[in-house]
Structure 1
Amino acid sequence: MSVIRSTEARRTETPNAVMTTYASPGQGGTGLALWRVEMAPGRSGPRHAMDTEQVWTFLAGSAAVDLAGETLTVATGDTLVLPPDLPRQMRSEDGFTAVVASPAPSQAVNLETGDRVTPPWTA
């Protein structure tokens, strides 16, 4: 059993959001990552696909999610289950905070550049 102290949470900033990792394989977890996303108002993430399922629960704010060409809208209290390997992009006019869980580590493919990366919040 592991206890991951709040002081050990790992913070990653991108141009569009801040991810705070609470648990991941590199932080005492095994095959699951848990992190918080805080997306600033008026921002949009890159168009990408993940190789694992993700479960997002929105704590505040709202987002529009393009999932394989379908637009899904989510708001405070909603939970979004994103299947693996489907193109996705999130955007938010008012910003949002969400908690996310997924198998880990996982890989993302940027669909604009073809680059494949392991997001640090899942490692």
Structure 2
Amino acid sequence: MTVIGYEQTRRFATPAGVMTTLASPTLGGATRPLWRVEMPAGGAGPTHTVDTEQIWTVLSGAATIRLGADEVRIGAGDTLVLAPDVERQVTADATDGLTAIVTSAAGSTAVAAGNRVKPPWAA
């Protein structure tokens, strides 16, 4: 068993919000990374793909997620399973923003604007 204290979590500020690593292969030796996403009201992430499944559970607020040509709205208590390699963009609610917990497979990569990156919050 591993306990990861709040002071051990890692925070990454992005233009879209703050990602906080709660557990990952390099934080507690978890086989799956787990992180919190906090987006301000009206904040939007980049259009991107991720090469592994992601699971989002909304803790508070809401968001509209564009998945290819479709849109889905999620709110507090909802869980969304995102298939790999589907173009997506997350936009937080204009009033309440969004706080969610997210997990994916370890080692996942994202592609945005032609750049392939390994999100540091999932490492």
User: Normalising by structure 2, what TM-score?
Assistant: 0.94
Counterpart contact for 1:19–1:121, Cα < 8 Å: yes
Runs of 4+ in 1 over 4 A off after TM superposition: none
Q: Distance in 2 between matches of 1:39 and 1:9?
A: 18
1:99 paired to 2:101: yes
The answer as to whether partners of 1:31 and 1:105 remain within 8 angstroms in 2 is no
Alignment of 1:1-16 (within 5 A): 1-16=1-16
Q: How far, CA to CA, are the matches of 2:90 and 2:22 in structure 1?
A: 22
For residues 108 and 65 of structure 1, the distance between their equivalents in structure 2, rounded to whole angstroms, comes to 16
Q: Quick one: distance in 2 between partners of 1:78 and 1:44?
A: 19
C-alpha distance in 2 between matches for 1:38 and 1:87: 21
Aligned counterparts of 2:60 and 2:6: Cα–Cα separation in 1: 21
Partner of 2:80: 80
- Once the two structures are TM-superposed, the CA of residue 47 in structure 1 deviates from its matched residue by 0.3
Match of 2:55 in 1: 55
Which runs of structure 2 are paired with 1:10-25 in the superposition (5 Å)?
Answer: 10-25=10-25
Q: Distance in 2 between matches of 1:17 and 1:121?
A: 12
- Contiguous gaps of at least 5 residues in structure 2: none
Give 1:107's aligned amino acid. T
- When the two chains are superposed, the root-mean-square deviation of aligned CA atoms in Å is 1.0
State the number of aligned residues. Answer: 121
Deviation per CA, 1:13-55: give whole Å up to 9, x if none: 0011101101011112243000100001111100000011111
Percent sequence identity is 51
Which structure 2 residues correspond to residues 19-58 of structure 1 after superposition, within 5 A? Answer: 19-58=19-58
CA distance in 1, matches of 2:16, 2:24: 22
Q: Structure 1-normalised TM-score?
A: 0.94
Unmatched runs of 5 consecutive residues or more in structure 1: none
